[in-house]
Amino acid sequence: MGSATIISLITLGFITLIGFGAFGLSSIGEGERRAARIALGAAAFTSSLLFLACLLPTGARLAILSTMVGAGVAGVILFLLPIGRVERGNDVPQGRFDERDIMFARARLIPGSPEYEAYYALRPKNQAGDDKTRNLPGLLSPAASKANLMAFASAEASFCLTEALREEVDGPVAPGRSELAAADMTSFVKNLAGYYGSYTVGIAELQPYHIYSHIGRGSGEYGAPITLDHRYAIAFTVEMDYTMMKSAPEAPVVMESARQYVEAARVALQLSYLIRGLGYPARAHIDGNYRIIAPLVARDAGLGEIGRMGLLMIPTLGPRVRLGVVTTDLPLIPDQRSPGTSMIAFCQICQKCAECCPSQSIPTNDRAEIDGALRWRINADTCFRYWNVIGTDCGRCMAVCPYSHPNNPVHNLVRWGVRHSGMARRVALWMDDVFYPQRGPGGGRQPAHQPVPDWIPRG
């Protein structure tokens, strides 16, 4: 009995040393100094206590072990408790969304132009707010409060490239069709998307609510009704760089957004050229020239869920992705939507993005029914207005989201728990507050802004 308790305490000591130590080392790799300090401190403290406990009399060692076993059993029971479950409810919109209503389309309207007059005759309530936004410095403006000339020049260069690609989204279809079976074609297209640089990829059957009702920007006549009769949509994600996004809302964020719009456009165009070459129609949907609502398509393709901040969140990177879509008639096999509602359940209790949003644009209440669909809706007007003050696309919500941590074994272990247990969701949220906070106006739930990477000149 005596030696068995010593072996058990030493084993537990090594488990805590390795567990916290691995977390600490991976936090160093992520540049998360506070998390590294706490984890390495916990590794040293708990393992030392357990090793020292070996020097105690047998009765005391047994008492410590019994307490730890009891705590472990209680932890398993709490993990399995069916708490905090949410029903998905109906999250399918009833109608189609008009692209003219999105902020990017409204921002392009030139006062006095026929489009300007026509739009505000249609939506008079939007005019005063939009004119106010138009009078701000604007995205990538040197007069903006977060202006950084080099970073803005880099972002501008990427946006120029996306703009140059905008008319390439569609084209002639090759005569003669490849007759590969749908299952084989689906496998090939998905693997090819990964080979081209996508992070995750899925297929959805295209639904009317995926498609904007009227053109708001991009190719085609402004305000024209949209018809898109493709049967399938290939949706994919590209990863946004963790370090660049952690500096949100500083200028590296807009550099990274612009760069990943280029990547998403490149992959989408490559896929669409390929499919047309195989004898089937295909249209790429890229920044500034969409006909579909990419987050809805990607959600229905099984890539993730739409969270509180209104962005698609994928299981391994959360919202830290950009999306690309290709619609086509190529015979494909659609994916199912992601099972489970753990992401929505986590958003219900988290609210970190809402608490950290500088313009208070993210709701703190429960999902509400909007156009027949249960969802959260951010205030896109105030969000976009803030972008036009600071000159970047902010991204603070994306940076603070607990799902945005890197895809590595330590965070994936937490994600596994979050997926399977309501209690684990609460513990994970508490840990996120403890390991990553900066005591400030948010009462300790405001993760620190990471500095702008050294290689980007200031000013």
Q: Is 434 helix (H, G, I), strand (E, B) or coil?
A: helix
Where does 142-230 have alpha helices with state H?
149-165, 182-196
- Which residue type, as a one-letter code, is found at position 160? C
Residue range at the interface with ligand SF4 (CB under 6 A); choices 159-167, 181-189, 229-237, 400-408: 400-408
Distance CA 106, CA 119 (A): 8
Q: For residues 133 and 107, is the Cβ–Cβ distance under 8 A?
A: yes
CB of 207 to ligand SF4, least distance (A): 24
Contact status: 346 vs ligand SF4 (CB under 6 A): yes
Contact status: 397 vs ligand SF4 (CB under 6 A): yes
The two structure tokens encoding residue 56: 């105690």
The two structure tokens encoding residue 144: 């903006």
CB of 129 to ligand SF4, least distance (A): 15
Contact status: 394 vs ligand SF4 (CB under 6 A): yes
For the chain, what is the total number of helices (H) and then of strands (E)?
A: 17, 10
Contact status: 386 vs ligand SF4 (CB under 6 A): yes
Contact status: 301 vs ligand SF4 (CB under 6 A): no
CA-based R_g, the chain, Å: 25
CB of 309 to ligand SF4, least distance (A): 4
Q: For residues 330 and 264, is the Cβ–Cβ distance under 8 A?
A: no
CB of 451 to ligand SF4, least distance (A): 19
Q: Which helix (H) or strand (E) holds 119?
A: helix 114-122
Q: Which helix (H) or strand (E) holds 389?
A: helix 380-390
Distance CA 319, CA 455 (A): 25
Contact status: 401 vs ligand SF4 (CB under 6 A): yes
| One residue of 308, 320, 425, 445 binding ligand SF4 per CB under 6 A | 308
CB of 260 to ligand SF4, least distance (A): 15
- Which residue type, as a one-letter code, is found at position 26? S
Tell me, by CB under 6 A, how many residues bind ligand SF4.
25
Beta strand segments in 183-271, E: 200-205, 232-239
> Considering beta carbons, is residue 277 or 358 the nearer one to ligand SF4?
358
| One residue of 255, 301, 357, 410 binding ligand SF4 per CB under 6 A | 357
CB of 393 to ligand SF4, least distance (A): 6
Contact status: 395 vs ligand SF4 (CB under 6 A): yes
Torsional sign, CA 389, 393, 397, 402: negative
| One residue of 185, 275, 362, 424 binding ligand SF4 per CB under 6 A | 362
CB of 346 to ligand SF4, least distance (A): 5
Contact status: 418 vs ligand SF4 (CB under 6 A): no
CB of 385 to ligand SF4, least distance (A): 9
Residue range at the interface with ligand SF4 (CB under 6 A); choices 105-113, 217-225, 328-336, 348-356: 348-356
Contact status: 378 vs ligand SF4 (CB under 6 A): yes
CB of 394 to ligand SF4, least distance (A): 3
CA angle 7, 8, 14 (to 5 degrees): 90
Residue range at the interface with ligand SF4 (CB under 6 A); choices 225-233, 264-272, 333-341, 388-396: 388-396
Q: For residues 294 and 235, is the Cβ–Cβ distance under 8 A?
A: yes
CB of 344 to ligand SF4, least distance (A): 9
| One residue of 16, 361, 421, 450 binding ligand SF4 per CB under 6 A | 361
> Considering beta carbons, is residue 8 or 392 the nearer one to ligand SF4?
392
Distance CA 104, CA 182 (A): 37
Residues 6+ apart with CB under 8 A from 230: 206, 281, 282, 283, 327, 328, 329
CB of 311 to ligand SF4, least distance (A): 7
Contact status: 244 vs ligand SF4 (CB under 6 A): no
**Other Cβ atoms closer than 10 A to 457:** 10
Q: For residues 64 and 6, is the Cβ–Cβ distance under 8 A?
A: no
| One residue of 144, 151, 215, 353 binding ligand SF4 per CB under 6 A | 353
Contact status: 359 vs ligand SF4 (CB under 6 A): yes
**Could you report how far apart the first and last alpha carbons of the chain are, in Å?**
68
Contact status: 358 vs ligand SF4 (CB under 6 A): yes
Residue range at the interface with ligand SF4 (CB under 6 A); choices 107-115, 265-273, 288-296, 356-364: 356-364
Contact status: 320 vs ligand SF4 (CB under 6 A): no
228 forms beta bridges with none
The two structure tokens encoding residue 161: 């490239």
CA 259, 242, 444, 79: dihedral to nearest 10 degrees? 130
Contact status: 119 vs ligand SF4 (CB under 6 A): no
Contact status: 84 vs ligand SF4 (CB under 6 A): no
Q: Is 101 helix (H, G, I), strand (E, B) or coil?
A: helix
By the criterion CB under 6 A, which residues form the site for ligand SF4? 307-309, 346-347, 350-353, 357-359, 361-362, 378, 383, 386, 394-397, 400-403
